[in-house]
Structure 1
């Protein structure tokens, strides 16, 4: 059947028009055929991904420059030809001046012959009226390079531009197998993939930075590259047929010029910082991928220092002892099979004095006995202050115990870094736990509920006592508002600028809107990416929003900023202490640290430790200590009383830094949440597919069994192939093959009659597409979708959904749509396919069951059961185990399972195959 669209290749772009009899964009929407539904969904996805631009209802445009971004499947959807190879030959003619050559390209197709004079539309070649072919991308790039000619704008001489032109044409021709003339084939060109650096020198005299071409075969070209200083884009060695040319791109030449302008010399006092953050000294564009290998050749020993201040109290006197451990960071002097040399000795006085002087100069390292010693200023300051008060004694020996550690103190195997000194020496526990009184900020344009006011005052109290805190309120209790209130109070005291909020990309727009609504006087900006040339720019804003990934990319620059407050929203993003995200967050300097998450424990207690280790380093001691003291006794407890005793001990430990309230405790007026299980028996088609899948998995081993679980869950929700799914209309025959779908539609019919809204959560893209098709056919609704493919505009989709009246449906995935979104205009939630983690399911439901909800919330769990009840289907097993874990999922302290849920389901499903 012909697709219901037409595609026209115009002079400037491609025009796409809907020509189907029934138009999905009409209001009200008419019934669509299966093929019309399929293409309506395809076009909606392409538009959501910004691949096509809407011009008017039923008309879209596509830029020729974007054609090669499309997959073969997407080109087929638009009825466009897919890329195909052509036979190509490059020829040349002399220029009028006779000093250069211009190239041309002969293209041939076995079926259509020579194509040189055929009409062109962007990259497309017309082979018959209205019939086009699309050359492979390399052919189009070669054509573009040939037609562009020599780049005289970026090369100082006509000859250099000509040589670069010839080299580029030859390189692109070789990539697509195009023939070239003999003289061009003999020419030898080198294209460095990037410009790296070679280091020469030592700690005493400084380092000389020399450019190094990477990706070239001739290492002797480095000397020529160094001498050229980027003045000419073409460098050659040898004569005649042995001549080899090194061709530099304009941006590479600019890198060389900038390196030359900076002198390429690193003074001895700058070497520690240079080795740590070379990008601060080198021009943008330098390739640092092999920098660590270059550093090893210098044989400079680099250490991370970890000072310990051990305090022993005897009657009324304090006896402190300062001990300093040095761990080799880059063990450049070690030779395989040879014992590592003893680390240098340093006295307490020497260490503290050199660290103080380095801090005064804005540095976090110093040179001692021919080695570089790094330190953390945040660890030095409290030790130095206490040292001034009570004194110190002794010289401690230093020995390397690890080959390598990260740039921050990890607190993994031992407690390396702690900010808990003030609290440890405090004896008045009751006073420490008291929440102080603070006035509500005048600029706050919101009325706080009593529990929110308590949260605001709790944050202010933590700030007064110089502590960090984890705000772990249940979803929907207004954690963002409480933090904004605290920041507004800080602004009134002129202590907020600059502060940083680290958050997932999906929450940025929500934060902007919340600030504008509740405290518009806060000056807020979003940091995207780029080098921070002047940190003073942040003083122009009270609050800077940045994503976790942008922080990881720009951590070197942002770690130098003295932030007032750092907030981590959805702080489960730093639940793994060794990831780049955690390292970037823990490397930030701040006066106050706030973590926000309703689910700090999703899979294991180590996640809580990682978050608290940032909030208040040292509170839970090292990761190893925490596992011994709390995690193993809680998770492996044989009896409930023992487990509860250890849970209470952990709660007691974090009490001063942790606040969690549940909706059931503080929102007496919140409408009830009702859970409905919609059980339907598997169809005969599904039973057969189920048996076949289990049989295949049994023969394939453990890995096949894990994969089979996903297959079983999919066939319960959608027993059709992906191509078949687009034709599903929700007919009686469709519902006979998938009764679970029928249960969903029956409830949606009731919701339609009530003129209310529903969310449907499902993580599978193919099932989302099937549901879009069915909903479009049954209700005439073009359903928006929030999943991992929707890269932007998620908040716009939610706002549009919230603003619409009457019956509406929104499709979401639990992973993407389950956090940070407020969708209280809906009061019906379907978990059509359930996640393995109960906490994820609770998070998704709480998009609806939260402050602002005025109607009773109904949560539906469609479950495909085994027909005769003789056994349990995979969905029945999953539901039973989730139910057992769900109570634990509401407890921030207790992980949801000893064993991952998919492993438990697999064990049950394959231990007793149904009949």
Structure 2
């Protein structure tokens, strides 16, 4: 509705206005009249009255009183002045055709349901997942959603939250999220449901991805409890002005006492396999959170051994699998003994029975579906192992490492000792080298060194994770440098001329080498690693997924392998596989 329209509106103007009243005010671009609420009334230096009005999207504007008009009482009149209700529906995907399904999905007879705005985009197994979470929430107990990576655990959680928070995904949610004084001025009753608050704990790398997904799929009142503003957000939580709080494992540890003073409807933990060590600080903190309904999300609940499974389940449903000793005796030991290559038929049978009993015991509290559910809707995945030969320079450096006394000690450690005792050398006279380092320690250190050389010789100069390893590498470097006086220049040449830049520090990571390659080749790329700020990570992912010009994203497995959706990629190259295959699998899927 244009303000300049010839239609007279003198009859709809008022002489007196009060804070809290609804009115028709010029929109922010001054092209239309739209519904707003008067927040306060002020007078300028000339005595001219102005109103500070609050729009539905919570933006404010100062407007002269004479430009305000009264809202007519005709039903739906004010709505037509702003936009159609369909324009406000969430989620909204402009590049996707809206599915024809337009009905809510009932979760209970009490009326809790997934709104039609979300339900129309869900697959059947995702509705089942939301039902699973809802059932455990209503019964006041925890559970684990252990679906494969890529099956949409996040959207299943959001669907569940939308149901229990009575969201509609429409204009109604916007109005319900307004402050109570505005609702009263609009002659609307505040929502009758008791205020619920949910705590979502996630790694920092995906914290803002959760915020983005919640904003995409509905009108949730979300606060991010992290960084310098966490004290202000804690105050908002204590005033119960939020429905969902997002935080990290570290912030939870720092603010545990204050967060425990609040009443949480449920705590939802992303990447719950982090709670795998009963003696770790993170496990102690998570078990100290005061909340009965504990929901864990993980695609790899078991990474190394079955004790990790017990630890995660004991956090979500304390006592379900008994004590750690009981679990070890009844489940862990029989299964692991039955998996040995030397297992007898009896041990195999006992292991299978123990596994069946464990699966039956967990079935009501642990839900896992694999990608076979949607294999017909996914392109065929092809795995290739590409072997890259070492350069002549790499071979020379590699051979130099193999010729060290320490490697000779490692390679002969399993041979009979020269003293004639009959024991292996590493358990008799050759337990350590001349510097007191054990064979086991040397083995791990030199494996890391050889891995660096195989990836790129320039990495041999990189800072290591431990002081002992740095000492070993320095010792090797001295030997390499004595054999190759021009090693530094050769390694720079091998990593492209750009590495000879004066800013080059001599300490680099593998991603630095790959980045220099992209720069030297003129490729448009993005980089995401542990140093990337959490706010920037989401921006990088969006740019990579949406831009046709950005074809490469350099990502460290630990930083980008958790919860970030690189849907724009159809090829994943694991240049430096980790020792734990589960980490790489998490990143690929």
Q: TM-score, normalised by structure 1?
A: 0.39
In structure 2, the partner of 1:525 is 223
C-alpha change, 1:496 and 1:690, in structure 2 (3 Å) is farther
Shift of 1:657: 0.3
User: Which of 361, 373, 377 is the matching residue for 1:665?
Assistant: 373
Aligned: 1:445 with 2:188: no
Deviations 1:894-913 (A, max 9, x none): xxxxxxxxxxxxxxxxxxxx
C-alpha change, 1:580 and 1:680, in structure 2 (3 Å) is closer
- Taking the aligned partners of 2:513 and 2:293, their CA distance within structure 1 comes to 48
Deviations 1:812-841 (A, max 9, x none): 111111111000101111011101111111
Shift of 1:497: 1.8
Aligned: 1:617 with 2:330: no
Correspondence 1:263-302 to 2 at 5 A = none
Deviations 1:558-594 (A, max 9, x none): 1122100110011122222233322222222224221
C-alpha change, 1:663 and 1:536, in structure 2 (3 Å) is closer
- Any gaps of 5 or more consecutive residues in structure 1? 1-434, 732-763, 847-915
- Taking the aligned partners of 2:253 and 2:492, their CA distance within structure 1 comes to 40
Conserved? CA contact 1:726–1:770, under 8 Å: no
SS at match of 2:294: strand
C-alpha change, 1:664 and 1:538, in structure 2 (3 Å) is farther
User: Which of 452, 462, 468 is the matching residue for 1:714?
Assistant: 452
Conserved? CA contact 2:277–2:283, under 8 Å: yes
Aligned: 1:547 with 2:248: yes
Aligned: 1:790 with 2:532: yes
SS at match of 1:784: strand
- Taking the aligned partners of 1:694 and 1:828, their CA distance within structure 2 comes to 35
Aligned: 1:499 with 2:198: yes
In structure 2, the partner of 1:37 is none
C-alpha change, 1:610 and 1:679, in structure 2 (3 Å) is same
SS at match of 2:446: helix
- Taking the aligned partners of 2:349 and 2:300, their CA distance within structure 1 comes to 24
In structure 1, the partner of 2:210 is 511
Correspondence 1:372-771 to 2 at 5 A = 440-442=113-115, 444-445=117-118, 447-492=121-166, 494=193, 497-520=196-219, 522-528=220-226, 529-530=230-231, 537=238, 539-637=240-338, 638=343, 640-696=348-404, 697-698=406-407, 699=409, 700=433, 701-720=439-458, 722=461, 724=489, 725-728=491-494, 766-771=509-514
Aligned: 1:811 with 2:554: yes
Conserved? CA contact 1:531–1:554, under 8 Å: no
- Taking the aligned partners of 2:508 and 2:325, their CA distance within structure 1 comes to 40
C-alpha change, 1:534 and 1:775, in structure 2 (3 Å) is closer
- Taking the aligned partners of 1:588 and 1:844, their CA distance within structure 2 comes to 29
Deviations 1:485-525 (A, max 9, x none): 111111129466211001111111111111111122x2110
C-alpha change, 1:525 and 1:839, in structure 2 (3 Å) is same
Shift of 1:443: 6.8
Conserved? CA contact 1:571–1:611, under 8 Å: yes
Deviations 1:821-876 (A, max 9, x none): 00010111101110111111111101xxxxxxxxxxxxxxxxxxxxxxxxxxxxxx
Conserved? CA contact 2:562–2:586, under 8 Å: yes
In structure 1, the partner of 2:424 is none
- Taking the aligned partners of 1:524 and 1:510, their CA distance within structure 2 comes to 13
- Taking the aligned partners of 1:665 and 1:498, their CA distance within structure 2 comes to 33
Conserved? CA contact 1:453–1:482, under 8 Å: yes
SS at match of 1:454: helix
Conserved? CA contact 2:127–2:156, under 8 Å: yes
- Taking the aligned partners of 1:825 and 1:796, their CA distance within structure 2 comes to 14
C-alpha change, 1:821 and 1:726, in structure 2 (3 Å) is farther
Deviations 1:61-83 (A, max 9, x none): xxxxxxxxxxxxxxxxxxxxxxx
Conserved? CA contact 1:471–1:659, under 8 Å: yes
Conserved? CA contact 2:198–2:245, under 8 Å: yes
Matched residues, number: 378
SS at match of 1:545: strand
- Any gaps of 5 or more consecutive residues in structure 2? 1-106, 168-192, 410-432, 434-438, 462-487, 498-506
Shift of 1:710: 1.1
Deviations 1:120-151 (A, max 9, x none): xxxxxxxxxxxxxxxxxxxxxxxxxxxxxxxx
Shift of 1:807: 5.5
Conserved? CA contact 1:436–1:458, under 8 Å: no
Q: Which structure has more strand as a fraction of its residues?
A: 1
- Taking the aligned partners of 1:558 and 1:799, their CA distance within structure 2 comes to 32
Conserved? CA contact 1:568–1:594, under 8 Å: yes
C-alpha change, 1:533 and 1:480, in structure 2 (3 Å) is closer
Shift of 1:666: 3.6
Conserved? CA contact 1:560–1:588, under 8 Å: no
Q: TM-score, normalised by structure 2?
A: 0.60
Shift of 1:602: 1.3
Conserved? CA contact 1:451–1:666, under 8 Å: no
In structure 2, the partner of 1:246 is none
Conserved? CA contact 1:479–1:596, under 8 Å: yes
In structure 2, the partner of 1:100 is none
C-alpha change, 1:822 and 1:679, in structure 2 (3 Å) is same
C-alpha change, 1:686 and 1:726, in structure 2 (3 Å) is closer
- Taking the aligned partners of 2:210 and 2:443, their CA distance within structure 1 comes to 43
Conserved? CA contact 2:524–2:550, under 8 Å: no
- Taking the aligned partners of 2:298 and 2:194, their CA distance within structure 1 comes to 24
In structure 1, the partner of 2:471 is none
Q: Which of the pair has more CA radius of gyration?
A: 1
Aligned: 1:774 with 2:517: yes
Shift of 1:480: 0.6
